[in-house]
Chains A and B, each alone.
Chain A
Amino acid sequence: MSAYGEFTTVMSEERYLVEGLRAMGYRVEVHAEGAALVGYHGDERRETAHVIIRRAQLDSASNDIGFVRGKDGRYQAILSEYDRSIGYGNQWLGKVHQHYKESQTLAVAKSKGYIFRGKEVIQTANGPQIRLQFVAR
């Protein structure tokens, strides 16, 4: 054994965010310049986002969920209080980060020449963990 690290995932690349949301079953809109989010009355809201899940895929009283790219390049979620209360809160966001990190890890490992050896989903008391294994050439 030689080294160990723990890291906090930073969502800064659009493609992995989109891939992650698609892996969770959502159809995703991508807007390079940002587009307005739509509220539960069908009203266009002031908030804009670069990556959007339209409310039709959520609850009947949901608002759109958006991810906006900040000046620091990181994506932040825009979630209404209502949507947070019906299951799109921190736990759901954790799942988004988990899918993002899985997509990113697989893509980066491939591009750097590591060989993928397998994926395992481990059920824990806090939720599923994803275990990816690689070997170096």
Chain B
Amino acid sequence: MQQKTITVVIDQNGDSSVDLEGFAGQGCDKALKDFQGDDHAKVQRKKAAFYSAAVDSREQNLKSGQ
């Protein structure tokens, strides 16, 4: 299982970027929210693995008849 890592970069103005790897679905949203705190979002996007993991999960559910 891929390790879930979070990289936070804080620039010279105190603004931050948060990069999540190995997360999928709601766990991804929660982690991003945890590190956002009260800060204002400038950019937020899901990356390819988020969607492929969501599709994998749906396929699993179909195969198992859920």
Q: Is the CB of B47 within 8 A of A1?
A: yes
Contacts of B40 in A (CB 8 A): 7-8, 10
CB-nearest residue of chain B to A133: B7
In the complex, B61 has a CB within 8 A of chain A: no
Q: Is A136 within 8 A of B10, CB to CB?
A: no
Please measure, in the bound complex, the distance between the C-alpha atom of A114 and the C-alpha atom of B33, giving whole angstroms: 13
Asked if A7 and B21 sit within 8 Å, CB to CB, the answer is no
Interface string of A45-89 (1 = CB under 8 A from B): 000000000000000000000000000000000000000000000
Chain B: which residue is nearest A11 at the CB level? B14
- Could you tell me the dominant secondary structure of chain A's interface residues? mixed
Q: Chain A nearest CB: distance from B45 CB in Å?
A: 6
Q: What A residues does B38 contact at CB under 8 A? A: 10, 12-13
Known: A2-B47, A109-B35. A7 touches B16 (CB 8 A): yes
Residues 35 to 60 of chain B near chain A (Cβ within 8 Å): 35-50, 53
- Whether A126 contacts B5 by the Cβ 8 Å rule is no
Q: Which residue of A lies closest to B12 (CB)?
A: A127
A100 neighbours in B (Cβ, 8 Å): 14
- In the assembled complex, the Cα of A2 lies from the Cα of B39 at a distance in Å of 20
* Cα of A97 to Cα of B38 in the assembled complex, Å: 13
**Identity of the chain B residue whose Cβ is nearest the Cβ of A131 in the assembled complex:** B9
CB distance from B15 to the nearest CB of A (A): 5
Residues of B within 8 A of A91 (CB): 12
B-side contacts of A6, CB under 8 Å = 15-18, 41-44
Given A12-B38, A98-B10, A132-B7, A2 and B16 touching (CB < 8 A)? no
Chain B interface residues (CB < 8 Å from chain A): 3-24, 27-29, 31-32, 34-50, 53
Identify 10 new A-B residue pairs, CB closer than 8 A, beyond the known A134-B6, A135-B4: A7-B18, A8-B15, A9-B15, A10-B38, A94-B12, A94-B13, A132-B7, A134-B5, A134-B8, A135-B3
